[in-house]
């Protein structure tokens, strides 16, 4: 609802200072106008960012990964420069279907899918439901594969739904994000610290009411219980990279996921939080490349 009140971010306004902008393109697929960054050659690797972020989340990893893979890094529907799409496109199944349409349009099949947080949930859903990905390697960075405990579970549901229905909520949140120190405080609550560029990028997207409306609408539509109930059916190679200080997706959930996925391998980065791959991109890249070789 109220989509006309919340236009998406304007690419011309941000292109000059956006990470890896020369590798950006816009693709129409599945009723969605996608912003995608593509770089490199070789086997296809799909990068899926988490809730509230954008493909800028991969800025520190993309150049190195592109030396080994054809890397495809989209903004998810409703995020940054990608449109929200048709009814249902912001749910977990809807995003997976949208990404399938995007990959068909690009004529690519991912051999590796790397997902951060909610992006890892999309990757798992795709592996479970799309036969072409039955052998793809899944890499979850602080993956949100199981329902979140406590207040977080309430935010990803009733509270988000109420906020998405309120035409002023996204506008008010964006105004708050534009205030000095607000985004830094929000990032700190994830257990992470970011450099100046990272803080600037998150401030830009979170102070845009169109982006925030897409995020709230996604959170309102998100359901992890069906995925959690089928997690044990995944037969793909699975690897997890966990920030020990993650305050958003508790590291204990990775241990629970490993019980359901006996083929999964897990590593833990001490001192890093939910955005560990942005805090230490080179260490994350080395783990990803090592896992891809072993798989």
Q: Tens digits of per-residue pLDDT, 88-121?
A: 999 999 999 999 999 999 999 999 999 999 999 9
For the ranges 61-70, 182-191, 276-285, the lowest mean pLDDT is seen at 182-191
Q: Do 46 and 111 contact (CB within 8 A), yes or no?
A: no
- Burial-class residue 196 by CB neighbours within 10 Å (0-12, 13-18, 19+): exposed
Q: In what order do the strands lie in the sheet with 238-243?
A: 24-29, 32-39, 70-74, 44-48, 110-116, 137-141, 238-243, 265-269
Q: Given this model, what pLDDT does residue 21 score?
A: 98
Read off the DSSP letter of residue 168. Answer: T
Nearest partner of 149 among 140, 157, 161, judged by Cα: 157
* Pairing status of strand 32-39 against strand 24-29: antiparallel
Q: Where does the pLDDT of residue 175 fall: very low under 50, low under 70, confident under 90, or very high at 90 and above?
A: confident
Asked if residue 150 has pLDDT above 70, the reply is no
Q: Do 284 and 277 contact (CB within 8 A), yes or no?
A: yes
Distance CA 190, CA 117 (A): 12
Q: Do 149 and 139 contact (CB within 8 A), yes or no?
A: no
Asked if residue 85 has pLDDT above 60, the reply is yes
Q: What are residue 249's phi and psi, to 5 degrees?
A: -115, 105
Count CB neighbours of 75 within 10 A: 26
Dihedral of alpha carbons 113, 192, 118, 213, sign: negative
Asked if residue 166 has pLDDT above 70, the reply is no
Average pLDDT over residues 29-54: 97
Give the predicted TM-score (pTM) of the model: 0.94
pLDDT tens digit sequence for 120-134: 999 999 999 999 999
| List of residues 6+ apart from 10 with CB closer than 8 A | none
Q: For tokens 């783990």, name the residue.
A: 287
Please count the structural domains in the chain.
1
Residue 108 sits in a domain whose CATH number is 3.40.50.1820
Distance CA 134, CA 244 (A): 30
Asked if residue 154 has pLDDT above 60, the reply is no
Q: Do 122 and 181 contact (CB within 8 A), yes or no?
A: no
Residue 148 sits in which domain range? Answer: 3-294
Distance CA 144, CA 102 (A): 23
Q: Given this model, what pLDDT does residue 115 score?
A: 98
Asked if residue 37 has pLDDT above 60, the reply is yes
| List of residues 6+ apart from 105 with CB closer than 8 A | 27, 28, 29
**143, two tokens:** 């993956």
Asked if residue 151 has pLDDT above 50, the reply is no
């Amino acid at each position: 609802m109220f989509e006309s009140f919340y236009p998406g971010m304007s690419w011309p306004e941000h292109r000059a200072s956006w990470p890896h902008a020369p590798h950006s393109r816009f693709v129409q697929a599945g009723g969605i106008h996608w912003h995608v960054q593509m770089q490199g050659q070789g086997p296809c690797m799909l990068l899926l960012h988490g809730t509230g972020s954008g493909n800028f989340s991969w800025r520190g990893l993309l150049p190195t990964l592109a030396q080994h893979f054809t890397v495809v890094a989209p903004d998810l529907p409703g995020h940054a420069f990608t449109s929200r799409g048709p009814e249902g496109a912001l749910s977990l199944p809807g995003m997976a279907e949208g990404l399938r349409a995007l990959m068909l349009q690009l004529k690519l099949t991912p051999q590796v899918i790397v997902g951060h947080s909610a992006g890892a949930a999309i990757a798992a859903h795709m592996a479970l439901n799309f036969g072409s990905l039955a052998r793809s390697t899944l890499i979850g960075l602080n993956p949100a594969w199981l329902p979140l405990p406590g207040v977080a579970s309430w935010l990803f549901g009733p509270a988000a739904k109420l906020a998405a229905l309120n035409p002023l909520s996204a506008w008010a949140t964006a105004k708050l994000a534009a205030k000095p120190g607000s985004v830094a405080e929000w990032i700190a609550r994830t257990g992470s610290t970011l450099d100046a560029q990272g803080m600037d990028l998150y401030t830009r997207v979170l102070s845009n009411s169109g982006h925030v409306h897409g995020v709230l609408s996604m959170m309102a539509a998100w359901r992890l219980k069906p995925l959690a109930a089928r997690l044990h059916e995944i037969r793909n190679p699975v690897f997890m990279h966990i920030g020990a200080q993650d305050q958003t997706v508790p590291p204990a959930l990775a241990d629970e996921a490993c019980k359901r996925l006996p083929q999964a391998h897990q590593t833990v980065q001490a001192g890093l939080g939910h955005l560990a791959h942005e805090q230490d991109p080179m260490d994350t890249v080395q783990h990803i490349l090592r896992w891809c070789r072993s798989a």
